[in-house]
Amino acid sequence: MASKDHSLDSGIAQAAYKEFLTCGFQKASLHKIAENAGVTTGAIYTRYQNKDALFVSLLQGFFKTMEELFSPAEQEYERARKSARAEDIIRAINVEEGIYFRLLTEHYDDCTLFFSRSDGSSVERMLKELMERKTKQTIDFFTEVYGKAPNEDAIRLLMGSQFWYFRQLLDEHLEENQMFACLRSILDFFNAGWRQLCDTLKQTAESFGGLPLRPFLTASS
């Protein structure tokens, strides 16, 4: 069997990246990618099982970068878990949001592929799984800190709205200073809500003997 010509790999990846970034996963054409890379579609299929596999391959480095960058946020959440202070919780949330801003500015195109161009791909499922994981982590965090679980549906909506505004920031094609100003205003808005949630959970845990308080608390004790 003839070996693959790896000299073509870079050209295929570059053409695919441009096509997915311009058209999104669903509308992207393997035929056009092959044409722009100067290869046949067969050359693509000898390297990738399908269009989805090609799309996922373009984001592998980005996924690794995300994993590395979010390590400081995990440390801040651990500090907040131990102190149970609202200020430390808000600080941890802001550190995490700051990392997302760094991603948006330093890895703009990768973020665009991930948040805004992945509809219909397995990466879209990964994004939904990430939101579900963040929802569970947030609920578990507040339950451990305050002994009461926040309303799961409310937290899921909050997580979804945060990922949605990342997508909106990308789709608006803002300059970096405009993006930062917008993100700062969004953070101020969310911080007020997170602080209120902290206060509500703390007061309930201290004053209501484990009884639920709507709308933030679950029906179960």
> Other CB atoms closer than 10 Å to residue 172's CB: what's the count?
11
105 within a domain of the structure (yes/no): yes
The Cα 111–Cα 127 span in angstroms is 11
Residue 34 · residue 40 · CB < 8 Å: yes
Longest dimension (CA), the chain: 74
Same domain, 121 and 153: yes
The C-alpha torsion from 148 through 153 and 156 to 162, rounded to 10°, is -100
Same domain, 95 and 106: yes
Same domain, 17 and 99: no
Same domain, 99 and 182: yes
Q: Would you state the structure tokens that stand for residue 217, as one six-digit string?
A: 């608390």
What's the average model confidence in pLDDT over 52-78? 92
Instruction: Give me the CATH number covering residue 33.
Output: 1.10.10.60
Same domain, 39 and 66: no
Same domain, 147 and 170: yes
What's the average model confidence in pLDDT over 107-128? 94
What's the average model confidence in pLDDT over 64-72? 90
Which of 148-166 are b and which e, b meaning 16 or more Cβ less than 10 Å from the residue's Cβ?
A: bbbbeebbbebbeebbebb
Same domain, 163 and 79: yes
113 within a domain of the structure (yes/no): yes
Confidence at residue 187, expressed as pLDDT on a 0 to 100 scale? 84
At residue 71 the predicted structure's pLDDT band, cuts being 50, 70 and 90, is confident
What's the average model confidence in pLDDT over 180-196? 88
pLDDT, tens digit, for every residue of 25-40?
999 999 999 999 999 9
Domain extent for 129: 60-207
Of 76, 80, 116, 82, nearest to 98 by C-alpha is 76
3-state helix/strand/coil string of 104-141? HHHCHHHHHHHHHCCCCCHHHHHHHHHHHHHHHHHHHH
Confidence at residue 7, expressed as pLDDT on a 0 to 100 scale? 58
Confidence at residue 148, expressed as pLDDT on a 0 to 100 scale? 82
pTM (predicted TM-score): 0.81
- Pick from 74-83, 154-163, 205-214: least confident: 205-214
Task: Count the domains in the chain.
Answer: 2
Can you name the residues that pair with 150 across neighbouring β-strands?
Answer: 217
221 within a domain of the structure (yes/no): no
75 within a domain of the structure (yes/no): yes
30 within a domain of the structure (yes/no): yes
Quote the percentage of the chain above a pLDDT of 90.
43
Confidence at residue 27, expressed as pLDDT on a 0 to 100 scale? 97
What's the average model confidence in pLDDT over 33-62? 96
Burial class (CB in 10 A: 0-12, 13-18, 19+), 30: middle
Confidence at residue 72, expressed as pLDDT on a 0 to 100 scale? 86
For helices 152-172 and 86-106, angle between their N-to-C axes, nearest 10 degrees: 30
Same domain, 155 and 144: yes
At residue 215 the predicted structure's pLDDT band, cuts being 50, 70 and 90, is very low
Of 15, 21, 14, 16, nearest to 53 by C-alpha is 16
What's the average model confidence in pLDDT over 127-152? 89
Confidence at residue 220, expressed as pLDDT on a 0 to 100 scale? 41
